[in-house]
Amino acid sequence: MASPRNIYMGPRSCYAIHEGIYVEGSGVGVDEAAGIATLILRDLRRGWGYDKGCRKITMDPVRAIQRLRYLIPLATKHRGSAEAERVKQLVEHVIETGTIPSWAKPRIAYTYPAPVQKKRRAVAVA
pLDDT tens profile 36-77: 999 999 999 999 999 999 999 999 999 999 999 999 999 999
- Mean pLDDT value of segment 93-99: 97
Does the structure show a pLDDT above 90 at 95?
A: yes
How many CA atoms within 13 Å lie on the side-chain side of 1?
A: 8
Ranges 43-52, 79-88, 113-122: which has the least confidence = 113-122
- Mean pLDDT value of segment 89-106: 96
Q: CB of 6 within 8 A of CB of 12?
A: yes
122: pLDDT confidence band, cut at 50, 70 and 90? low
Length reported for the chain: 126
- Mean pLDDT value of segment 70-88: 96
124: pLDDT confidence band, cut at 50, 70 and 90? low
3: pLDDT confidence band, cut at 50, 70 and 90? confident
Does the structure show a pLDDT above 90 at 114?
A: no
Dihedrals φ, ψ of 78, to 5°? -85, -35
Dihedrals φ, ψ of 77, to 5°? -65, -45
